[in-house]
């Protein structure tokens, strides 16, 4: 038995095949291009997203050769694609979750007093991060978009929806992705007509919302779809961070995970009742049958992307791995601090206009110190999220489950443990996002039971605090002071 997981992320598309023991037996990936047409603007090409994911999936299935029993999909959340129902062509590039272009729309919603309603019904704060204001921007700024919407031809979707529509012809999304749009009532589990009307987003443009573990349709025959995929059934779909949470088996209330990817995303299982927090969002973790589970979440918008910035823009490293190598050549950052607010700050600050800074430079600062500061900065921002959760929910987090590409850094994981004063638990399979989608597809296909999944996680290494507490506290206090320096930019300077 085998499951194909399609994992469409911010910087790459990937496909992985898992066997019935949840081991990766085949995987392929392909990078996708990032577009930055203006300060704070981030875009992708929807056709490249689709084609790259199809290529990865086709290569995996062709190479594996044996039978695939089910397909699961997981994806970068909040990113919006808009396309013509009749032609299937996108009307604009995908607006990425990191994009700040709709900040002004958010400001108008806040000033007109809609924040409390959106927080209580959608579980979210008003921020350009979420999908709704991106949809409104498209309707207001893309030629013929509003005309197509009025004719019932314009379709909106997050990346999961775009993939499912192209693979099966069904305009479906799942509850986790829907809960990130700022249009979805997380208690009623349906689109909120009041906010859709407020933003002039037609309900006819939005997809049908499905459970995470159900029949999404069969992959159809089409010229652009590899023949080896035709006939495979899509049995699950889930947003990437909820997928990682499921893959990490955060099934008990109070379980916490963080994914170190392009961004960092810390989620805590808060059970089957909605619990709102001032500085965190409440989101649907997953829904299987009649049971919906919720999570408190905090987001760091730029984490692994900071390492890519060192490589692609500053060019002081040649590969992402070199960041860890250079960071390991010095005992610490030499007093350097790095705040990766390239596209604003997420939780707990929620500052759409903050921008990144490198502080504490001296004539003796070298790339080793800068690399170390970048890793430390990622860990500090995750610490902000975890400490906020502890405060908001009056709890002590003793173990943080971690995953994502950047968590392979022992230096960063040890520093995370030191600052948080808790265990940091890295699993043998760090591909938790794809694994979560595979687990859900496998549940629907009857490969596993829920009880069997509970015992399938294996730890590879557990980091425990080794730095003296007074030193760790002093470093964190210095970080908090640095955060205060990144929010001075006037809005007019950002062209937003």
pLDDT for 455:
84
Among candidate residues 357, 317, 354, the one with its CA nearest the CA of residue 337: 357
| Cβ atoms within 10 Å of 253's Cβ, excluding its own | 13
Residue where the block lists tokens 């999944």:
453
pLDDT for 496:
46
Burial class (CB in 10 A: 0-12, 13-18, 19+), 21: exposed
Asked if 339 and 356 touch (Cβ cutoff 8 Å), the reply is yes
Among candidate residues 401, 74, 58, the one with its CA nearest the CA of residue 236: 74
In which residue ranges of the chain is pLDDT below 70? 487-496
List, in order of start, the domains of the chain with CATH numbers. Answer: 2-239 (3.30.420.40)
Among candidate residues 324, 263, 304, the one with its CA nearest the CA of residue 76: 263
Q: Where are the beta strands (DSSP E) in 316-415?
A: 337-339, 357-359, 399-403
Give the distance, in angstroms, between the CA of residue 348 and the centroid of all CA atoms in the same chain.
16
198: left (phi over 0), alpha (psi -120 to 50) or beta: alpha
The encoded tokens of residue 353 equal 């206009």
> pLDDT tens digits for 412-430?
999 999 999 999 999 988 8
The continuous run of DSSP H or E covering 155 comes out as strand 154-157
In sequence order, which residues have a C-beta less than 8 Å from that of residue 294 and are 6 or more positions away? Answer: 123, 186, 270, 271, 272, 273, 274, 275, 282, 283, 284, 285
pLDDT for 454:
86
Sign (positive or negative) of CA dihedral 147, 151, 156, 162: negative
The encoded tokens of residue 459 equal 């730890």
Q: How many angstroms separate the CA atoms of 190 and 208, rounded? A: 9
> pLDDT tens digits for 122-137?
999 999 989 999 999 9
By residue count, the chain amounts to 496
The encoded tokens of residue 192 equal 């909120």
Among candidate residues 248, 251, 229, the one with its CA nearest the CA of residue 70: 229
pLDDT for 494:
46
Strand partners, 15: 6, 28
């Amino acid at each position: 038995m085998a499951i194909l997981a399609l994992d469409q992320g911010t910087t790459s598309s990937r496909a992985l095949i898992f066997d019935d023991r949840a081991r990766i037996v085949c995987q392929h990936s392909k990078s996708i291009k990032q577009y930055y047409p203006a300060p704070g603007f981030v875009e992708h090409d929807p056709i490249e997203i689709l084609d790259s994911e199809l290529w990865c999936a086709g290569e995996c299935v062709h190479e594996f050769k044996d039978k695939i029993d089910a397909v699961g999909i997981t994806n970068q959340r909040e990113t919006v694609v808009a396309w013509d129902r009749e032609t299937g062509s996108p009307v604009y590039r995908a607006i990425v979750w990191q994009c700040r272009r709709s900040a002004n729309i958010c400001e108008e919603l806040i000033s007109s007093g809609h924040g409390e309603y959106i927080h209580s019904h959608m579980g979210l704060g008003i921020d350009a991060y979420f999908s709704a204001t991106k949809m409104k921007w498209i309707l207001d700024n893309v030629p013929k978009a509003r005309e197509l919407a009025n004719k019932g031809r314009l379709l909106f979707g997050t990346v999961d929806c775009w993939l499912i529509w192209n693979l099966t012809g069904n305009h479906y999304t799942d509850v986790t992705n829907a809960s990130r749009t700022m249009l979805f009532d997380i208690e009623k589990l349906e689109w909120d007509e009041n906010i859709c009307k407020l933003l002039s987003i037609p309900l006819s443009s939005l997809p049908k919302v499905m459970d995470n573990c159900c029949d999404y349709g069969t992959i159809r025959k089409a010229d652009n779809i590899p023949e080896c995929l035709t006939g495979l059934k899509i049995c699950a779909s889930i947003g990437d961070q909820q997928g990682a949470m499921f893959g990490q088996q955060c099934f008990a209330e109070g379980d916490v995970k963080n994914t170190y990817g392009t961004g960092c995303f810390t989620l805590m299982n808060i059970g089957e009742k909605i619990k709102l927090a001032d500085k965190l969002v409440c989101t649907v973790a997953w829904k299987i049958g009649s049971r919906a589970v919720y999570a408190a979440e905090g987001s760091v918008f730029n984490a692994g992307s900071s390492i890519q910035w060192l490589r692609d823009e500053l060019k002081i490293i040649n590969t992402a791995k070199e960041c860890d190598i250079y960071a390991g050549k010095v005992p610490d950052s030499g007093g350097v601090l790095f705040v990766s607010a390239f596209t604003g700050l997420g939780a707990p600050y929620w500052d759409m206009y903050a921008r990144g800074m490198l502080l504490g430079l001296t004539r003796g600062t070298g790339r080793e110190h800068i690399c170390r500061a970048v890793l430390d900065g990622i860990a500090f921002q995750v610490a902000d999220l975890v400490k906020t959760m502890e405060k908001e929910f009056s709890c002590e987090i003793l173990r943080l489950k971690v995953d994502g590409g950047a968590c392979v850094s022992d230096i960063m994981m040890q520093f995370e443990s030191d600052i948080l004063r808790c265990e940091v638990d890295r699993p043998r399979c760090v591909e938790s996002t794809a694994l979560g989608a595979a687990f859900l597809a496998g549940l629907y296909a009857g490969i596993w039971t829920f009880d069997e999944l509970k015992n399938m996680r294996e730890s590879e290494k557990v980091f425990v605090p080794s730095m003296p507490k007074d030193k760790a506290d002093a470093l964190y206090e210095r970080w908090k002071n640095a955060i205060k320096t990144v929010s001075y930019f006037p809005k007019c300077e950002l062209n937003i």
